[in-house]
Structure 1
Amino acid sequence: MIDELIDRLLKGDKRAAARLITLVENDEEKAKEIIKKIYKFTGNAYVVGITGPPGAGKSTLLDKLIKEVRKEGKVVGVVAIDPTSPFTGGALLGDRIRMQKHSTDPGVFIRSMATRGSLGGLAKATNDAIKVLDAYGCDVIFVETVGVGQIEVDIVKTADTVVLITVPGLGDDIQAIKAGLMEIADIFVVNKGDKEDADRTLFELELMLDLEKEKWKQRGWRPPIIKTVALTNKGISELWRAIMEHKAFLDESGKIKEKRRFKAEEEVKTIISDFITSKVGKKLRDNEVYELIGKIAEREIDPYSAAEVIMEKTLGVKA
C-alpha cells in the first residue's frame, strides 16, 4: 500500500499526499518506512516559518501570502499547526477555516496538524509532513506555528526563513519577543499596521535591532521590518519580496548549506532522543525500575544515580 501511495505522490496525486501525511502523523513505524523511501526525492522546496504570539493575525496574513505566491505559478504547501482537541486528539482546524478559499486550487495543499502536547509551537510529525509535501512537488512550504508565545523557537530547526509577526498594542510582550523569538527571526512583520500605535511598535523593533547591530553585521543579514494590513492586502507583496531576498542572501552566501546542515543535525538529535525516551519509558513500567523511582521519592537514592542505573539497564551505557 505504501509503495503505491508513494508512486502516486511522486506523480502529484494530492490524495496520496494527504494519506501519507496521515500515516506519518499517526504511525511511527510507517513514518520511518515512508521517509526512508521518499527522502531522495526531497530537498527542493523552500520552507518558510510563520510564527508569533496569539492574535497577531498569522492565519489571515498567510492566506494573503498564498495568493501572492500563486501569482508566480509556484505550488504551495501549508502545514498549519493547531491546538489539540481535548476530545479527539486531532487539530481544531482554525487555520484551515481561514484559508478554505484555496481548497479548490490544485496548486495549493493545506494540512492542519495537532500539537498533541509537543512544545515549541510545532507538531511532532511536522518535519515528516514537510518531506511528503516536498516530494509531492511543492515549491514553497509555509509552516504556521500554533501561537503559544515565546517558547515557539523550534521553528528555526525546521524553516529556511523565519517570519515573526507581531501587532501594535502588545506592550510588554515586545520584551518577551526580545527574550526568545527575536533571536530566530529573519523578517519582522508589524501586522494590523493601520492601528494608531503601529508606528510605535515599528520604532521599538527598530530600536531593538539597533542594539544588536554588531550581531546582524556578523550574520550579514539585518532582519527587515515590514508593516502590513493583512485584511486589505497591504504590504503582502513587500513581505513576499523580503522572503525571496532572504532566500537569495542564503543562496549567494552559502549559508543555506549551513542552515540545512543545522536542521539535519537537530532532526537526528530529536529522533535519537525520542527513541531513548520511548525505550526508557517502557522500562520505567518494569517492577525493578518502578521500585527505584519509589526510592527517589523516599530520598533513599538521588535522581542522578537512579538515572545512571536505568540507562545502564535499558541502554547498556554508563552515564
Structure 2
Amino acid sequence: MLDGLIERMLTGDKRATARLITLVENDDEKAREIISKIYPHTGSAYIVGITGPPGAGKSTLLDKLIRVAREEGKVVGVIAIDPTSPFTGGALLGDRIRMQRHSTDPGVFIRSMATRGSLGGLAKATADAIKVLDAYGCDVIFVETVGVGQIEIDIVKTADTVVLVTVPGLGDDIQAIKAGLMEIADVFVINKADKEGADATYFELSMMLDLEKERWERTGWRPRIVETVATTMRGIRDLWSAISEHREFLERSGEIGRRRQFRAEEEVKTIVSGRISRIVGEKLGEEEISSLIEMVVRREIDPYSAADRILEEALGVKV
C-alpha cells in the first residue's frame, strides 16, 4: 500500500500526497517507514516560514505570495498550522478557505494541520509533512504558524527563510518581537501599512535592528523591512524579492548548509527524545514514575536523581 502511494506521489498525484501527509501526521510507525523511503527524493524545496501574532494578516499575505510564486512557474506547497479542534482533533481555522482560489491549480498543494497541543507554533508532524511535499516536487514550501506570538520560535528549526509579520498599532506585538522573535526573523513585514502608525512601527523595527548592528555585521545579513497591504497586493512583490534576496545570500555565503545542518541535528534530537520518553513509559509505567515524582515533591529525592533513576531502570545504563 505504502509503496503504491509513494510511487503515485512521486509522479505528482495530489490524492496520494494528501494520504501520505495524513499517515505521517497520525501514525508514528508509518511515518518512519514513509520518510525512510522518500528521503532520497528530498532536499530540493526551499522552505519559507510565515510567523507573527494573530490578526496580522498572515493567511492573506500568503495567499498573495502564492500568486507571485506561481507567476514565476514555481510549484508551491503550503502547510498552514491551525489550533486543534476540541471535538475532532483536526485543524480548527482551516486556512485553505482563505486560499481557495488556488485549490484547482495543479501547481499548488495546500494542507492545514492541527497543532495537537504542540508548542512553538508548529504541529509535531510538520517536518515530515514538509519532506512529503519536497519529494512531491514543490519548489517552495510555505509554512504558516498558528499565530501565538512569543512561543513561535520553533519555525527557525523548520524554515530556510523566516518572515515575521506585524501590523501597526500593536504595542504588544513589538514587545513580542523584543522578547525573542527578533532574533529569528530574516524579513520583517509591516502588513496593513495603510493604517495609522505604520511609520512608527517601521521606525521601531529599524531602531531595534540598529541595536543589533554587531550581529548583522557578523552574519552578513541585515533583516529587510517590507511594508505591505496584502488585500491590494501593495508590497507583495517587494516581499517576494526580499525572500529571494535572502535565499541568494544564504546560498552565496554557505549559510544555508549550516542552517540545514542545525535543523537536522534538532530533528534527530527531537526523535531521540521522543523515543526515550516512549521507552520509559513502556518499561516503568505511569504508577512507578508517579511514585518517583511524589518523592520529589516530598523532598525525599532531588529531580536530577529521580531522572537518573528513571533512565537507569528504563534503559539499563548507568547515567
| TM-score range for the pair, normalised by the shorter chain length | over 0.9
Deviates more, 1:24-33 or 1:252-261: 252-261
- 1:210-240: per-residue Cα shift (whole Å, max 9, x none)? 1111110111000010000001010000000
Structure 2 equivalent of residue 291 of structure 1: 291
1:154 aligns with 2:154: yes
Query: Which secondary structure does the structure 1 equivalent of 2:49 belong to?
Result: strand
TM-score, with length taken from structure 2: 0.97
- 1:257-284: per-residue Cα shift (whole Å, max 9, x none)? 1111111111111111111122223345
Structure 2 equivalent of residue 225 of structure 1: 225
8 Å CA contact 1:83, 1:91 repeated in 2 = yes
1:211 aligns with 2:211: yes
Rounded to whole Å, the distance in 1 between the matches of 2:287 and 2:102 is 54
In structure 2, what residue type is equivalent to 1:123? A
Structure 1 equivalent of residue 186 of structure 2: 186
1:175 aligns with 2:175: yes
Alpha carbons of structure 1 residues 289 and 151: separation in structure 2 relative to 1, 3 Å: closer
- 1:111-131: per-residue Cα shift (whole Å, max 9, x none)? 000000100000000000000
- 1:25-44: per-residue Cα shift (whole Å, max 9, x none)? 00000000000000000000
Rounded to whole Å, the distance in 2 between the matches of 1:126 and 1:289 is 30
- 1:282-309: per-residue Cα shift (whole Å, max 9, x none)? 3452544443333233332222221111
Query: Which secondary structure does the structure 1 equivalent of 2:168 belong to?
Result: coil
Rounded to whole Å, the distance in 1 between the matches of 2:149 and 2:288 is 40
Structure 1 equivalent of residue 88 of structure 2: 88
Rounded to whole Å, the distance in 1 between the matches of 2:229 and 2:124 is 32
**What value does the CA root-mean-square deviation take over the aligned residues?**
1.2
Rounded to whole Å, the distance in 2 between the matches of 1:40 and 1:172 is 44
In structure 1, what residue type is equivalent to 2:132? V
Unaligned runs of 5+ in 1: none
In structure 2, what residue type is equivalent to 1:244? S
Structure 1 equivalent of residue 49 of structure 2: 49
Structure 1 equivalent of residue 4 of structure 2: 4
Structure 2 equivalent of residue 61 of structure 1: 61
8 Å CA contact 1:283, 1:289 repeated in 2 = no
Structure 1 equivalent of residue 312 of structure 2: 312
Query: Which secondary structure does the structure 1 equivalent of 2:149 belong to?
Result: coil
1:128 aligns with 2:116: no
Rounded to whole Å, the distance in 2 between the matches of 1:288 and 1:227 is 56
How far off its partner does 1:92 sit? 1.1
Rounded to whole Å, the distance in 2 between the matches of 1:52 and 1:43 is 26
- 1:191-213: per-residue Cα shift (whole Å, max 9, x none)? 00001210110010001001111
Structure 2 equivalent of residue 280 of structure 1: 280
Query: Which secondary structure does the structure 2 equivalent of 1:285 belong to?
Result: helix
8 Å CA contact 1:188, 1:223 repeated in 2 = yes
* 1:66-145 correspondence to structure 2 within 5 Å: 66-145=66-145
8 Å CA contact 1:284, 1:290 repeated in 2 = no
Alpha carbons of structure 1 residues 284 and 139: separation in structure 2 relative to 1, 3 Å: same
TM-score, with length taken from structure 1: 0.97
Unaligned runs of 5+ in 2: none
Query: Which secondary structure does the structure 2 equivalent of 1:152 belong to?
Result: helix
Q: How many residues align?
A: 319
Rounded to whole Å, the distance in 1 between the matches of 2:291 and 2:55 is 47
Rounded to whole Å, the distance in 1 between the matches of 2:86 and 2:165 is 27
Rounded to whole Å, the distance in 2 between the matches of 1:137 and 1:65 is 18
8 Å CA contact 2:149, 2:173 repeated in 1 = no
8 Å CA contact 2:81, 2:112 repeated in 1 = yes
Query: Which secondary structure does the structure 2 equivalent of 1:153 belong to?
Result: helix
How far off its partner does 1:96 sit? 1.2
In structure 2, what residue type is equivalent to 1:216? W
In structure 2, what residue type is equivalent to 1:21? I
Q: Between the two proteins, what is the percent identity of the paired residues?
A: 76
